[in-house]
Each structure stands twice: as C-alpha cells, then as structure tokens.
Amino acid sequence: MEVTLTAIKADIGSIGGHVAPSKAVIARVGEAVDEGGKGLIIDRFIGHTGDDIAILLTHDRGTKDERIHRLAWDAFQEGTTVAKRQGLYGAGQDLLSDAFSGNIHGLGPAVAELRFNERPNEPFLMFTADKTEPGAYNLPLYLAFADPMYNTGLILSPAVGRGFTFTVMDVENLDGDRVIELSTPEEAYDLAALLRDNGRFVVESIRSRAAAAASADEQAVSCCTTRLRNIAGRYVGKDDPVMLVRTQKNFPATGEVLGPFGIGHFVAGFMRGSHVGPLMPVKAGTGVSFFDGPPIVSCLAFSLREGKLTEPCDVFDHPYWDWVRENVARKAHDIRAQGFSGAAMLPYADLEYGGITERMNKLDKRFCIR
Ligand code: F6R
Ligand code: MG
Ligand code: MG
C-alpha cells in the first residue's frame, strides 16, 4: 500500500514564555485534526517538544496535498484560539500568514513528508527539535548515513554499503530553492564541505542507492528546510525543525541513526536564537529551561501497517541518554560560562532582534582614525 507521512510542527503559544504549550491547546489541536480529518486521514499522532506542537498524519494523498496541509493549518488556528484565551505567550507565533494558500510551505510551520509503498513492516522515526535550526540535523545525518565510524552497517551490510544520495538545499539563496545531489561514498568530502555550514546548507532528503538499484522506494529521510527569518523578514523564533527517517534493511538501523545524537554537537539557537549551544536529546514532551534552552531534540519511533500507527516508543527515554544529557548539560554550562564572548554567540549576520546592529552603527560613528 502506498502511504504518505506528513509531519507539521509549529509554535502557537506557550506557558511561562517560550517553555511548553498547555494541555488545553494540545488537546484542541488533536480534536480539530480528528474533526477535520474524517475520511481524509488514516491516522494521527500529536506531541510536543519545547514550545512546539507536532502533528503527524498518515494518509494516501501524497506530499504537498492541499487538504492535508489545510487540516494541519486549521488545527493550529483552533489551537491558537485556545492559546489566546489562556493568555499563552506568543499565541499563533509561527502562523505567519493571515490566510492559507494551497500549501503550508512558506507560511511558517515546519514540514517533513515521506511517500512510499509500505514494507511488510515499516519502522520510522520522527525527530522534533526546538531552539535550533534545520542545519542541526546535518552532522547526525552525515555520520549515520556516510561514516562507518558511526554506522558500521556501512561495512557490515552490502545494501547499506551501496551508499546514499543526499539532496542538499542552499537555504540562503534568495532567488529560490537551490539544491544539489551528492552520492556517498564517492562524494563524501564534497558533502562534508557543504554540511559543515549548518546555517546555509541543509539536508533536505536522503535516498538509498541499494533501494534505487532494486527499484524499491528509496527515500529514507525528509527534513524541513524552512528558515522563518527568510519568510517573515524579522525574528520570529528559530525554525525548530522536524525530520522523518525510515530505518532498517536498505536504510541504517534505528540505533545507527540515533548514535550521533550522543555527541551533543554545538548548534545555532538557544536564547533569542542568537547563541551556540549543544543539542540535547530529550524525552518527548520536554520543555525548555536553562537560557531558553539548551537546544533540544526528541525522537519517537513508530511502526506502520496500512497507514495505521502503533503507539510511539520514546527512544531517548533510556538510561544511556540520561548519561548523555548529563554530559550535554555540562557542555551547555561551559559555553554559557563565557557569556557573550567569541564562540558563545553567533556571527553578526545570524544575530536576532537587531540590537547589535543598531549598537554597532551608533558606535561606528564615534571611531576616529589615529
Ligand atoms: C528562542 C526564543 C526565545 C526568545 C526569548 C525572548 O526561539 O523564542 O529565546 O527569543 O525568550 O522572547 P521575546 O522577544 O518574545 O520576549
Ligand atoms: Mg517559540
Ligand atoms: Mg520553538
């Protein structure tokens, strides 16, 4: 059976600042999806990470489907009404347009979609991150799909060892979405040269070369590439990306995809979207705290049969990840100890709120040549 997974994620208001959505808002989003989704969707899951609500839908209508995207949009609108009634902070924040126009891309919410013929058993992962940007997934994806130091499946399994084709988007190109395809292992160094720049080059999708050779459905990964700042023209929060990953057989195993998240690599985001902080893998439903962060990512594993979802398994809810969280908390503390200095904050072009630019412009006039 051909099925489509659509994950759409948005911040529509949260309790106590940018911490977490209220139970009432999450419940209203779920009800609205159920009411509007009758006869349209097969199944759904609603969750939250930090201040963002994620809607996962299964259906048979393909990607970028107007009715599916509208369902999520309307549900977020319904949730926003409750958020406003409760006085939540930033109610409706990520709904950047007054009206829905055919497709949710470019309207604010983060989207990741996968369409494929279901395997007899179909495992997949939904990653949701908060207080960071889409490029935060670059390193874990490179390591899981192209580096045998992290994914020994690349040398153990002939199918996985055939390699993968990455589609990478230049998200800073103002004339439209510029993409490039690179295949590993041959082009691994070219890929690394792009993916080191998380703010500009973002993995959009990854396909299995073994599956392509066998004419099977090849897409393993779909990532959101939205940059809210480019849409809104001002700071409205970081992009808090969502990602879907199919695992096992021709694709990396679930544990191989998760492994690189043990690094807690430094990403852009954190307080006011203007800092550098380590990405902490957290349990589903975790809010944010220390310095509006640290940047967090959660991951739910599902199986799928005829479009019906199992209950989710929270894969970062495990003693191993408690130890990782301790280490990442230490990294977060260490970089915060140096406050505004050097590597703790982002380069000029990525600083939000305009305050630094304003201040520098003012000071510039007071410099004199000696
Ligand atoms: C990060 C984020 C927060 C806010 C900060 C100030 O994505 O949303 O760190 O930038 O709490 O928020 P405002 O400007 O709304 O007071
Ligand atoms: Mg927010
Ligand atoms: Mg958020």
Tens-place pLDDT, residues 198-238: 999 999 999 999 999 998 889 999 999 977 767 777 776 67
Q: Is 238 a catalytic residue?
A: yes
Question: What's the CA-to-centroid distance between 54 and ligand 3, angstroms?
Answer: 11
- Could you tell me if the CB of 265 is within 6 A of ligand 1? no
**What confidence tier does 119 reach under pLDDT thresholds 50, 70, 90?**
very high
Q: Which residue has the tokens 């849409």?
A: 231
CA distance 186 to 146: 10
Please tell me the pTM assigned to this model.
Answer: 0.97
Task: Tell whether the model's pLDDT for residue 179 goes beyond 90.
Answer: yes
User: Phi then psi for 311, rounded to 5 degrees?
Assistant: -70, 155
Residue 289 has pLDDT above 80, yes or no: yes
**Residue bearing the CA closest to ligand 1, atom 7:** 237
Contact 292 CB / ligand 1 (< 6 Å) = yes
Locate tokens 């990512």: which residue?
Answer: 297
Instruction: Name residue, tokens 């510039």.
Output: 364
Confidence of residue 63 (pLDDT cuts 50, 70, 90): very high
CA-nearest residue for atom 1, ligand 1, is 272
Contact 104, 72 (CB under 8 A): yes
Nearest listed ligand to the Cα of residue 275: 1
Catalytic residue among 130, 131, 142, 238: 238
The pLDDT value given to residue 175: 80
Q: Which residues surround ligand 2, an ion (CB under 5 A)?
A: 11, 18, 51, 237
Is residue 11 among the annotated active site residues?
Answer: yes
Q: Which residues of 11-35 are buried (b: 16+ CB within 10 A; e: fewer)?
A: bbbbbeebebbbeebbebbbebbee
What is the rounded CA–CA span in Å between residue 256 and residue 259? 5
CA angle 216, 219, 225 (to 5 degrees): 165
| Type of residue numbered 128 | T
308-330 tens-digit pLDDT: 999 999 999 999 999 999 999 99
Contacts of 189 (CB under 8 A, 6+ apart): none
> What proportion of the chain, given as a percentage, has pLDDT over 90?
89
CA of 97 from ligand 2 middle (Å) equals 17
Mean pLDDT throughout 42-60? Answer: 98
Tally of CB atoms within 10 A around 301: 18
Q: At which residue do the structure tokens 């929060």 appear?
A: 237
Q: Indicate whether 26 pLDDT > 90.
A: yes
Burial of 88 (0-12, 13-18, 19+ CB in 10 A): buried
Percent of the chain with pLDDT over 70: 98
Mean pLDDT for all residues in the chain: 95
Q: Which ligand has its closest atom nearest to the C-alpha of 52?
A: 3
Q: Is 240 in the pocket of ligand 1 (CB under 6 A)?
A: no
Active site residue 9: no
Nearest Cα residue to atom 8 of ligand 1: 237
Cβ of 17 below 6 Å from ligand 1: yes
Instruction: Say if CB 171 and CB 201 are below 8 A apart.
Output: yes
Whole-number pLDDT of residue 236: 67
Residue 366: pLDDT above 70? yes
Average pLDDT (59-73) is 97
Q: At what angle do helices 138-146 and 188-195 cross, to 10 degrees?
A: 170
